[in-house]
Amino acid sequence: MGSRNLHGDKASRSTQQVILSTGNLPELSYKPGDHVAIIPANQSTIVDAVLSRLSDCPNPDLPMQVMVQREVNTIAGKMCTWEPHERLPAAPVREMLTRYLDITTPPTPDFLHLLAEYAKDNDQKTHLDLLA
């Protein structure tokens, strides 16, 4: 196991070659050209702060499934169905906030406008629109 910068120390960008050991496990097969993402976990203090702000959140340590509403065309017309999110596994909210969701990147202006649309408090709505 090891790594090296493919562009050298003085380059303006960095591309790392990382050498990993798969221990010859068949489920960890790797072919030249494959890519691996290494995504760090969010800090527990930040996750706890987010959890403290959630109202009506079920027990954050019990498994749940993120569902996505989809519109499908049927003989009877368009219908809405709920399906499990295709990339997020069933997991506790705490684990989702820790491992799967980006809770540290500032929200985009479009997302802030979307939140403002759902805000029930006019002051919060105005504040979100100003932030956007």
The string of pLDDT tens digits covering residues 83-107 is: 999 989 999 999 999 999 999 999 9
Cα–Cα dist 115/125, whole Å = 8
What does pTM read for this prediction? 0.65
The string of pLDDT tens digits covering residues 12-52 is: 888 888 887 878 888 887 788 888 777 889 999 999 999 99
Q: Which residues contact 100 (CB under 8 A, 6 or more apart)?
A: 88, 89, 91
